[in-house]
Amino acid sequence: MNIEKLLQLKAVASLETLYGPVDASQVQLQKTRREFEGDLTLVVFPFLKASRKGPEQTAEEVGRHLASNNPEIKSYNVIKGFLNISFRESFWAGQLDAIAADPDFGRQPATGLTVMVEYSSPNTNKPLHLGHIRNNLLGCSVAHILDAVGHRVIKANLVNDRGIHICKSMLAWQKFGGGETPASSGMKGDHLVGKYYVAFDKAYKAEIKELTAAGIPEDEAGKEAPMMKQAQEMLRLWEAKDPEIYGLWETMNGWVYEGFDKTYKALGVSFDKIYYESQTYLLGKEIVEEGLAKGVFFRKDDGSVWIDLTDDGLDQKLLLRSDGTSVYMTQDLGTAYQRFTEYHLDDMTYVVGNEQNYHFQVLRLILKKLGHDWADHICHLSYGMVELPEGKMKSREGTVVDADDLVAEMVRTARDMSAELGKLDGCTPEEADAVSQMVGLGALKYFILKVDPKKTMLFDPKESIDFNGNTGPFIQYTHARIKSVLRKAAEAGIAVGDRVAANYSLLPKEVELIKLLADYPGVVIAAAAEHSPALVANYVYELVKEYNQYYHDHSILREGDPGVREARLLLSAQVARIVADGMALLGISVPERM
């Protein structure tokens, strides 16, 4: 049982014995602050009316009753209206035994709820970059965490495979490509298409410059530039299913999908369901027509369709352009309806950058106005952008950090640093390759996921691959170290016990480690509620940091007392197990040897 819940039940029993019936929801427990002695703290202020005593007297009375009637309570102390309670070492030894005996420790039973997490959502006009990496890693980790708390999780990807941005790459390839293909160029398909997206922007800017030099205002020049007009006409032809344009679109998207698949595999990211905007936008158009019929939307004189949200403190929102082509909101309406209808979802989480906060606010509001109450179960996991020491990235200008290049560079750097520090000594070439891959990806994933998703983050590749400090490699190395200790114990015929010896008195540092282990289920539950893998990441780091101090100060294999040695091995094994489980929730593998 959760330790806080256990003490809450005992506190309720004591309070009712002393003062009569109490509201259990008023029994507030929190971890005792580090500067005070204690494991958990009970706030007694809600019970002063019933006790008819001051806060210190009430706390003293409750503490005395708890300690007298619960042998697992070692001591208590009172600081004003706060009762700090300490458990006996035998209680914590029992907690370690319970953790070791529970194969599902940290996992919750099935809730019966079905949730979907949408992440990645790439555009098929460019390869994935560092910003996409944060999106994919966040989404995949949140899906793992929601699964751990008992939900049925569907990992979804919505591919933005249509729209003006796609037509820009297609038009540039028509004009400048000369029939180039991934096979003829030796480039990954997504990189090749991205090359032409940059080429469009370069040619478009040159046209704007020409027009402004001829005296046309810049805003007007942007609209009148031939490249933009041709791209808009291409989009119109695509929606009309023009055979030539549609065929080119299928070919170039095929190149991109092949490239994306390789990147996803390298990142260890997967999906249960892939949606395509080219398929969902038509359903969105139908929903818009229904909204028009209901009077939820209105049509302007130019034929465009809008919704007026000014009474809700927002503005007017475009749903269909005057030429009948759809916008992002159109297809998002269709996709949301399709998903909730198809899977009967209890919750839907969109992992999308914080620049789209307004978009999702509007999406929920429109769906509510259309009569869909499930709109209240749409959650936007809004995350901050990733910046580099050199500044922001710009796709159109080709100044992004490419995902494939970054992954390859991280693995190379991990191999060089591991070899330099002697971490690969004794490894076969195959083992060295596997460890380098694991450490490089672990460094990248951990560095990104340890940051609160809501915060803009600065990514420094060099800082992420460090075998000291709050990094993936530090955690991975600690896991390998524990596994090495356990292997040596097995080779020496030393058993790892499954229980702490009854006569063994835990050291203070061992109690601290067991407390941290006992916190793990609560951390996972909180991470699920907040959609924040950072809570898991930083918990694992604290656990590893505490263990390394313990390992430094206390002998394990050289301990002469068999009972003490077995207890320390049992504790070490459980630390390794929770480290591996926590890192798995982040999508990170940990090595057995290093």
Q: Transcribe 357-368 into DSSP letters.
A: HHHHHHHHHHHH
**What whole-number distance in Å separates Cα of residue 85 and Cα of residue 67?**
9
Beta strand extents in 454-557 (DSSP E only): 457-458
- Mean pLDDT confidence for 208-218: 94
Give the CB-side neighbour count of residue 251, counting CA atoms within 13 A. Answer: 16
Chain mean pLDDT for the chain: 93
Residue 396: per-residue pLDDT: 44
Q: Which residues of 43-59 are buried (b: 16+ CB within 10 A; e: fewer)?
A: bbeebbebbeeebeebb
Residue 26 has pLDDT above 80, yes or no: yes
**What whole-number distance in Å separates Cα of residue 150 and Cα of residue 349?**
16
Lowest-confidence region among 91-95, 127-131, 475-479: 127-131
Which residue pairs, CB below 8 angstroms and at least 24 apart, start in 521-524? 521/2, 521/105, 521/106, 521/107, 521/108, 522/2, 522/4, 524/106, 524/107, 524/108, 524/145, 524/148, 524/149, 524/585
For residue 204, the tally of other CB atoms under 10 A from its CB is 20
Residue 398: per-residue pLDDT: 47
Task: Give tens-digit pLDDT for 401-434.
Answer: 789 988 998 898 888 888 888 888 878 888 888 8
Alpha-carbon torsion angle 395, 397, 401, 405, nearest 10: 100
Of 364, 376, 293, 371, nearest in space to 333 by CA: 364
Task: Give tens-digit pLDDT for 548-567.
Answer: 999 999 999 999 888 899 99
- Give phi and psi for 43, each to the nearest 5: -90, 120
- Mean pLDDT confidence for 173-186: 96
User: pTM here?
Assistant: 0.90
**What whole-number distance in Å separates Cα of residue 453 and Cα of residue 135?**
10
- For the record, the structure tokens of 385 come out as 């952008």
Residue 240's DSSP bridge partners are none
Count H helices, E strands: the chain? Answer: 21, 14
Give 154's pLDDT tier (boundaries 50, 70, 90). Answer: very high
Alpha-carbon torsion angle 435, 487, 578, 139, nearest 10: 20
Residue 48 has pLDDT above 70, yes or no: yes
**Which residue's entry shows tokens 């910046």?**
387
Helix (H/G/I), strand (E/B), else coil: 320 = strand
Task: Give tens-digit pLDDT for 525-536.
Answer: 999 999 999 999
Q: Exposed, middle or buried, 20 (CB in 10 Å: 0-12/13-18/19+)?
A: exposed
Which domains does the chain carry?
Answer: 3-87 (3.30.1360.70), 119-387 (3.40.50.620), 404-585 (1.10.730.10)
Could you give the angle at the alpha carbon of 573 between the alpha carbons of 525 and 41, nearest 5°?
A: 45
Task: Give tens-digit pLDDT for 451-507.
Answer: 999 999 988 877 888 778 899 999 999 999 999 999 999 999 988 877 888 778 899
Per DSSP, 129 falls in state B
Per DSSP, 301 falls in state T
Q: Indicate the length of the chain as a whole number.
A: 594
- For the record, the structure tokens of 161 come out as 């495979």
518 with 94: CB under 8 angstroms?
Answer: no
Q: Which residues of 521-549 are buried (b: 16+ CB within 10 A; e: fewer)?
A: bebbbbbbebbbbbbbbbbbbebbbbbbe
Residue 391 has pLDDT above 60, yes or no: no
Give 390's pLDDT tier (boundaries 50, 70, 90). Answer: low
Could you give the angle at the alpha carbon of 367 between the alpha carbons of 362 and 372, nearest 5°?
A: 155
- Give phi and psi for 522, each to the nearest 5: -65, -35
- Mean pLDDT confidence for 269-283: 92
